[in-house]
Chain A
């Protein structure tokens, strides 16, 4: 077990606490977006929550839906989940740890930046993501539609 202790210590040392956690950026409205060819034009808050919490794997029309997430530790991710669920981001991360490490489900794939998120959504019919401050007309030109707008409580 000494090897395990050494390994655990090394991993601990390698981690620097994330400085972006609990950031106070004000995002205003968050836009939930999908590909324009998904035949989905609007979604309810409960449905958005169901997909982003792994409880549903389909759009309202029954077609497969896969959520994309923003980078772990990013302030937009914290704002989105806390506003959507009313829970602390730590509770959401613990929730996903339960699902992931019991083998039940995997959390949404993390995407590093907004450009990559828009590219993924514009190129894949079955994906769903969230962004902020985007012009719907500009999104439409990329083949993306806003299906739900999440306002701060």
Chain B
């Protein structure tokens, strides 16, 4: 069996490395534009950046590990409370001409795949006309949700991190492709339509372990989406819909498939069907969302709802929502919020029982154990949980902020899709029962 975890570290060829192709294409365009531009290549580059230094007692509980995103490694987070929220980003931008610019962004943060290529969040060329059209080509951040295009930039929002119930499950942060938008309106109202298409990939750590089948490389192509944003005064409303198709199974999918083939030989024909139901290759996921950001006077209100729909139970399927309220007192912004995630998935297969006197009935305990394991497999992806958040942001200096926040989370039975449990022995059941946990976090966020 080809192991995708190791395969992705093999030397990429130009043909199979899409990112290299994109960069090469951009370089050609870039060279052409530069030939037209009067500025030299080295002049007038904007170099800016952002950072977050954060700490959370991530080893507070023996049975559950908090995570900011499923692309983080559970064991690393558990062992080092500085890794949960800390990040450092650098961005370069050059205006080639009034209508043309090029933007690149690199972000260092804790994640399974820490390659240089995977740390480049943006590398695109853009054309913007004076009549509101914009065309972008290259690598761009996903902006389907209200915070998803700047979720690494802690300074840009008031909470310590985007709400886990809403944002932690999103495996993809960027895509390689094309995006176009049109803006129109007057100075009271701005409406922007956007559409994009491309391909994306990520490596996620499902569960707690750090075995090859826990680190799963997921690739989606195409990923397409559209959205509309309306801004008027202090109010912003954004609605989006996006769809992606997984192009290949994960290492865990393949491992599961090979295991259940043996069960089929014991007479459990449905076991192959179960493995197929877990497989993600060729399956599609659609997510739609609507969110608002409203800041009348010193108040802050923000909320989003989303629906994620997968074609099979091995994929995400459910609803998420959150609402936040804050009020600024000078340098201080206390806030509170509630977020919610409901998973629609359920294991739809009954255990297989041999008829009385069947010669193979001695294998009944094996099949019962296999049924428990297969059904439990789903719990590493279920997201039935909610959180109440209380926090404060202190803007103590220009472009610098300190934040303190406590999250009180309730995680339902066998719902380990976001936070993971160390109580997972390979080949045994997780048995997570509904429980509440709380963590307090602090961050120093700045831009430069």
Q: Which residues does chain B contribute within 8 Å of A103, judged by CB atoms?
A: 103, 105, 122, 124, 126, 136, 140-141, 149
Closest partner residue, chain A, to B233 (CB atom) = A46
Closest partner residue, chain B, to A86 (CB atom) = B297
Q: Which residues does chain A contribute within 8 Å of B98, judged by CB atoms?
A: 64, 126
Binds B, one of A12-20, A31-39, A134-142, A143-151: A12-20
Q: Which residues does chain A contribute within 8 Å of B158, judged by CB atoms?
A: 94
Q: Which residues does chain A contribute within 8 Å of B50, judged by CB atoms?
A: 97, 101
- Kindly supply a per-residue 1/0 record for chain B positions 294-310, scoring 1 wherever the CB is within 8 Å of any chain A CB and 0 otherwise: 01011000000000000
Q: Which residues does chain B contribute within 8 Å of A102, judged by CB atoms?
A: 141, 143, 149-150, 153
Min C-beta distance of B337 to chain A, whole Å: 17
Contact (Cβ within 8 A) B51 A8: yes
Binds A, one of B204-212, B264-272, B314-322, B397-405: B397-405
Asked if A7 is at the interface of the complex by the 8 Å CB criterion, the answer is yes
**Complexed CA–CA distance, A46 and B444 (Å):** 34
Partner of B48, one of A7, A100, A126: A100
Q: Which residues does chain B contribute within 8 Å of A94, judged by CB atoms?
A: 155-158
**Complexed CA–CA distance, A98 and B400 (Å):** 14
Min C-beta distance of A96 to chain B, whole Å: 8
Q: Which residues does chain B contribute within 8 Å of A50, judged by CB atoms?
A: 187, 190
Min C-beta distance of A58 to chain B, whole Å: 6
* Interface members, chain B 136-158 (any A CB < 8 Å): 136, 140-141, 143, 149-150, 152-153, 155-158
Asked if A27 is at the interface of the complex by the 8 Å CB criterion, the answer is no
**Given A11-B51, A50-B187 in contact, is the A4-B328 Cβ separation under 8 Å?**
no
Asked if A49 is at the interface of the complex by the 8 Å CB criterion, the answer is yes
Contact (Cβ within 8 A) B93 A106: yes
Contact (Cβ within 8 A) B331 A98: no
**Given A17-B396, A46-B187 in contact, is the A8-B53 Cβ separation under 8 Å?**
yes
Min C-beta distance of B351 to chain A, whole Å: 44
Contact (Cβ within 8 A) B187 A88: no
Min C-beta distance of A33 to chain B, whole Å: 19
Contact (Cβ within 8 A) B108 A4: yes
Asked if B38 is at the interface of the complex by the 8 Å CB criterion, the answer is no
Q: Which residues does chain B contribute within 8 Å of A90, judged by CB atoms?
A: 328, 331, 333, 395, 401
Contact (Cβ within 8 A) A64 B295: no
**Complexed CA–CA distance, A4 and B90 (Å):** 13
Q: Which residues does chain B contribute within 8 Å of A15, judged by CB atoms?
A: 400, 446, 448
Min C-beta distance of B85 to chain A, whole Å: 11
- Kindly supply a per-residue 1/0 record for chain A positions 37-76, scoring 1 wherever the CB is within 8 Å of any chain B CB and 0 otherwise: 0000000101101100001111000101000000011000
Closest partner residue, chain B, to A97 (CB atom) = B156
Min C-beta distance of B95 to chain A, whole Å: 8
Min C-beta distance of B301 to chain A, whole Å: 14
**Complexed CA–CA distance, A46 and B155 (Å):** 26
Contact (Cβ within 8 A) B53 A106: no
**Given A4-B108, A7-B88, A106-B46 in contact, is the A98-B150 Cβ separation under 8 Å?**
yes
Min C-beta distance of A69 to chain B, whole Å: 13
Closest partner residue, chain B, to A53 (CB atom) = B231
Q: Which residues does chain A contribute within 8 Å of B89, judged by CB atoms?
A: 101
**Complexed CA–CA distance, A91 and B234 (Å):** 12
Partner of A98, one of B108, B122, B130, B153: B153
Asked if A114 is at the interface of the complex by the 8 Å CB criterion, the answer is no
* Interface members, chain B 45-73 (any A CB < 8 Å): 46, 48, 50-51, 53
Q: Which residues does chain A contribute within 8 Å of B328, judged by CB atoms?
A: 88, 90-91
Q: Which residues does chain A contribute within 8 Å of B130, judged by CB atoms?
A: 57-58, 62, 64
Contact (Cβ within 8 A) A12 B149: no
**Given A47-B187, A101-B50, A101-B153 in contact, is the A73-B398 Cβ separation under 8 Å?**
yes
Asked if B258 is at the interface of the complex by the 8 Å CB criterion, the answer is no
**Complexed CA–CA distance, A18 and B128 (Å):** 35
Contact (Cβ within 8 A) B51 A101: no
Asked if B2 is at the interface of the complex by the 8 Å CB criterion, the answer is no
Q: Which residues does chain A contribute within 8 Å of B333, judged by CB atoms?
A: 90
**Complexed CA–CA distance, A57 and B130 (Å):** 7
Q: Which residues does chain B contribute within 8 Å of A64, judged by CB atoms?
A: 98, 130
Asked if B80 is at the interface of the complex by the 8 Å CB criterion, the answer is yes
Q: Which residues does chain B contribute within 8 Å of A73, judged by CB atoms?
A: 398-399
**Given A1-B80, A102-B149 in contact, is the A17-B91 Cβ separation under 8 Å?**
no
Asked if A152 is at the interface of the complex by the 8 Å CB criterion, the answer is no
User: Which among B83, B101, B187, B188 has the highest number of chain A CB atoms within 10 Å?
Assistant: B187
Mark A residues whose CB is within 8 Å of B: 1, 4-5, 7-9, 11-12, 15, 17-18, 20-22, 44, 46-47, 49-50, 55-58, 62, 64, 72-73, 86-91, 93-95, 97-98, 100-104, 106, 126
Since A4-B109, A101-B50, A103-B124 are in contact, a sample of 18 more A-B pairs with Cβ atoms closer than 8 Å, ordered by chain A residue number, is A1-B83, A7-B88, A8-B53, A8-B86, A18-B399, A22-B331, A55-B187, A57-B130, A86-B297, A90-B333, A90-B401, A93-B399, A95-B156, A97-B50, A101-B89, A101-B150, A101-B447, A103-B140
A-B contact pairs, 8 of them (CB 8 A): A4-B86, A4-B108, A64-B130, A100-B48, A103-B103, A103-B105, A103-B122, A103-B136
